[in-house]
Amino acid sequence: MLNSYKIIIAYDGTDYFGWQRQKDRPSIAQTLQDVFYTVFNKSIVLRGVSRTDAGVHALGQVAIFSVVMNIDPKVMIHAWNNRLSAEIVIRSIERIPSDFSLHGNVVTKTYWYHFFLERPLPTTQRFGWFFRYPVDLEKLQQCLNVFLGTHDFRSFCSGDERGDDTIRRIDAVSIEYVEKYNAYRIAIVGPKFLRYMIRRMSGACIEVASRKDLDVGLLKQVLEAKNPEHLLPNAPAKGLVLYEVEYKS
């Protein structure tokens, strides 16, 4: 009997070339699939809700798969996790209906972007961008607020998108200081995002907030230009974390 499952995964993406399978390069999805085969002697194909890029991390990546096997999720998660390397942990497994919509049932996704204003400790440096210049945090919040609401984000994506599918909605943006890591966390919430969108937004905002010769109006101009060929920086992948995906109940 074919059974379908939803899993939530956390991973340190530093040594992986993203979520999607890569030819001759390690990826998160391929590693999970290979280990599943090793443990259960069954092949699966994982579909992830977000195709995180090389070096990007996750605390709440969601994936689904189907397999001709009937096994209790508690047994499955224990056996599967026991064979995974320390960089990947399956946080939960549950059975789902065969018609479960991985993307259509999403209410919001929350991404975090971490940056340091002081040289980070070796234990945390791989999870954030060390920005070597002072940042006006009040101005940074003003910069982020530019993106609230529904806009055409063509200026803040990979540039490979075609057609009119670059319109997205941002529901919330915030900044907080995380004392435990001596890091600053940008949180961005919305139903879906374009490739590089969070990193390009974060990099542009941090750059503008660090320079007295640039003001918030520049971001509005770049957004309205709908042209990804601008000089504001793309923040490094190491600071980005897919924190949580909220689904309809």
The DSSP element (H or E) to which 79 belongs, if any, is helix 73-83
The whole-angstrom separation of Cα 91 and Cα 84 is 12
Task: Give the active site residue among 53, 72, 136, 215.
Answer: 53
Active site residue 53: yes
The whole-angstrom separation of Cα 188 and Cα 111 is 5
Neighbours of 11 (CB within 10 A): 25
Nearest by Cα to 239 from 207, 191, 179, 198: 198
Residues sharing a CB contact under 8 Å with residue 148, sequence separation 6 or more, in sequence order: 170, 171, 172, 173
**Structure tokens that stand for 187 in this block:** 């949180």
Please identify every residue annotated as catalytic.
53
